[in-house]
Amino acid sequence: MRLHVGRKSQGIFKFSNNRPSVGDMIKAGDHDRLPDLIPIRHERMAVSPFAFYRGTASIMAYDLSFLPRTDIKVQAIGDCHLMNFGGFATPERTLIFDANDFDETLPASWEWDIKRLATSFVLAARHNHLKSTDAKEMAFILTQSYRRHIIDFARMNLLDLWYMKFDVQAIREKSKSIEMKQMLGDAMMKAQRETNEKIFYKTTRQVSGNFEIADQPPLIYHSPEMNDKIQMKNFLGNYSKTLSDDRRWLFEQYTLVDIAMKVTGVGSVGTRCYIVLMMNKNQEPLFLQVKEAKESVLEKFTAKSLYSHSGQRVVEGQRLVQAASDIFLGWSTWSEGRQYYLRQLRDRKIAPSVEQFDRELLTAYAGLCGRMLARAHAKTGNASLIAGYMGKSEMMDEAISSFAMAYADQTEKDYEDFRKTKF
């Protein structure tokens, strides 16, 4: 395999001569998004090259498709950047660290995930005004952590690997960084307060004795698309069929109260994303997030998903990769054949403030993300083959970090072109 795809070739970035303009690629990505929300998407992408990168997974997928790759398939996260990792509560209510965004997940070559993640660390370091040598070191540390851990995971018993979880408390206790210990401690305390009850009091209002989600335009508002209560009940009924029997029973203890559009993230802005308020007979709230699922940006360059329903593609990919998944993870279809997946809204989630990380915190975070990605790929692909290809030397660490620097340069050029484009 090394003769077929040399490891040093993994460090080279050169885009296709037929590469469309940045403006054309962004416009293609805007297709079928809600027109009123597209300006918000562009505004968020225009904040910085780092923010722009978050919204352009489709551009990178196009560029990666022309580069050398081993084609060792794993369940790729797809949009694998450092803001799509974080903490959340397992069904047993333990806080763990894992990947948490799977909108683009699909079986694909393992290099695509590591290259996108490494580039995101370079852009984050530049955004945080770290030195160029520090930026490259972040990508190097990430890849080194991935390589060393995938060697370890390749030797593990498969069941032990599937049972493995990255407990946030254990990570905090083992961390040698005082800053990391403090950051994780604060994050854990905040996560424990992120309950359905807290979300309820922050996002609802009482009208004539009934509760409803409070409009906060243009980010939260009631949409005519989802005001048909009968159709919504049918939508939720079909969703419940994708849950296991015990979880379906739990879900059926709640009844629909209200639903509203909620703008979220960067790459998702303009797609149809909603929050659903449900309550049980004791007036205890449950919030669900409903996200539109489209074809993965990787599908044009790999193969069509095994699943005809894009929401199922997201759910099944998430269940494969994560050590533990939300008990309410499922999918359904709305009018006009629009496909969605559902999960709990902000269930004790930890979202690291990466844009404020200093060199020490970003270094520790790179090592942690590399370890997590290695476990994800070892679970769903041929870990021995990846480990053997990468080897024990630092050749691949150097190659991926060189690629990340080159692609970060290209992203900054694309960002400037985007800023000049009239939409």
Is pLDDT of 188 > 80?
A: no
pLDDT digits 0-9 by tens, 144-154: 999 999 999 99
Interval 220-239: pLDDT, tens:
999 887 777 788 889 999 99
d(CA 330, CA 240): 7
The per-residue pLDDT for 343 is 95
Task: Specify the DSSP element, H or E, that contains 184.
Answer: helix 178-193
Q: How does the average pLDDT of the chain come out, rounded?
A: 92
Residue 45 confidence (pLDDT) above 90:
yes
DSSP assignment letter at 289: E
Per-residue pLDDT at 257:
93
Residue 184 pLDDT more than 90? no
Q: What are the tokens at 337?
A: 């054949």
- Give tens-digit pLDDT for 324-336: 889 999 999 987 7
Whether residue 29 contacts residue 45, with contact meaning beta carbons closer than 8 Å, is answered with no
**What's the pLDDT at 170?**
84
Q: Binning pLDDT at 50, 70 and 90, where does residue 271 land?
A: very high
The shares of helix, strand and coil residues in the chain, as percent rounded to the nearest 5, are 50, 15, 35
- 120 touches 83 (CB < 8 A): yes
- Provide φ and ψ at 221, rounded to 5°: -160, 160
- At 347, is the pLDDT very low, low, confident or very high (cuts 50, 70, 90)? low
Query: Please, what is the angle between helix 310-321 and helix 359-380, to 10°?
Result: 110
Look at residues 154, 75, 145, 150 and name the one whose alpha carbon lies nearest to residue 112.
75
Residue 83 has pLDDT above 80, yes or no: yes
> pLDDT tens, 275-286?
999 999 999 999
- Of all residues in the chain, the percent with pLDDT exceeding 70 is 99
Q: Which of the given ranges, 98-102, 189-193, 213-217, 405-409, has the highest pLDDT on average?
A: 405-409
Mean predicted confidence (pLDDT) in 92-103: 87
- pTM of the entire predicted model: 0.93
CB 221 within 8 A of CB 261: yes
pLDDT of 40 reads 95
Give the pLDDT confidence score for residue 230 in this predicted structure.
82
Tokens of 401: 């970090």
pLDDT at residue 143 in the model? 98
pLDDT score of 187 more than 80: no
Q: Phi-psi bin for 355: left (phi > 0), alpha (psi -120 to 50), beta?
A: alpha
Q: In this model, does residue 195 exceed pLDDT 80?
A: no
Per-residue pLDDT, averaged over 308-312, amounts to 97
